[in-house]
Amino acid sequence: MEIRLDGWRLNLTFAAAHFIADYSKCSRLHGHSYAVSIVIKGEPKEGIILDFVELKNKIRQIIEELDHKVIIPTKGEIKINMGENEIEVKHREKRFIFPKEDCAFIPTESSSAENLASYILQKFLESFVPPSNIEEVGIGVDEGYGQGAWAWRKIK
């Protein structure tokens, strides 16, 4: 059995800017309205798999850290120089300067929907210990309505 939370309908959304350094036109700084959805597979315990409110609150805590920020991946070919109040990001001939407080750093090679889904899934599982009735967790990240990526983790 599974439960599903639709990020668009439940307003599990955030807006952020990013660039994908090695991917043609996506290497330009641009933004998206993202939605985060979740699927939990497992067996009901006392009539439910998990409390919807608890799940929504965990997702909201994670996406709040990304909302209205520039998402900067910290692995890969990008060079990041941290100043006291600003950061400089370099990749090949491009150079960006951002206020440090406007950035969210994620430990991935790019800020693609695929990597964001994996990152959010990891953060979710770090902050939430699934009970014994949970078998699998999936996190979906849409870059606009109807197009996105999913990351899955088997729990048992």
| Contact call for residues 114 and 75 (beta carbons, < 8 A) | no
Alpha helices (H) in 48-154, listed in sequence order: 52-64, 113-127
pLDDT score of 98:
96
In this structure, of 15-29, 112-126, 135-149, the range with the lowest mean pLDDT score is 15-29
Tokens of 65: 């850290």
**Arithmetic mean of pLDDT, 115-125:** 97
Distance of CA 5 to the CA centre of its chain: 15
pLDDT score of 65:
97
- CA-based nearest residue to 55, from 5, 9, 21: 5
Look at the chain and report how many structural domains it folds into: 1
Which CATH number does the domain housing residue 77 bear? Answer: 3.30.479.10
- pLDDT > 70 fraction of the chain, expressed in percent and rounded: 96
Range of the domain at 41: 2-154
Identity of the residue numbered 141:
V
16-54 confidence digits (pLDDT tens): 999 887 666 667 788 999 999 999 999 999 999 999 999
140 pLDDT band, cuts 50/70/90, is: very high
| Contact call for residues 27 and 94 (beta carbons, < 8 A) | yes
Question: Is the pLDDT at 126 greater than 80, yes or no?
Answer: yes
Mean pLDDT, all residues of the chain: 93
**Arithmetic mean of pLDDT, 54-64:** 96
Segment holding 154, helix H or strand E: strand 148-154
Identity of the residue numbered 134:
I
Tokens of 136: 């699998």
In this structure, of 56-65, 89-98, 144-153, the range with the lowest mean pLDDT score is 89-98
Enumerate helices (H) and strands (E) in the chain, giving the number of each: 2, 10
83-119 confidence digits (pLDDT tens): 999 999 988 888 999 999 999 999 999 899 999 999 9
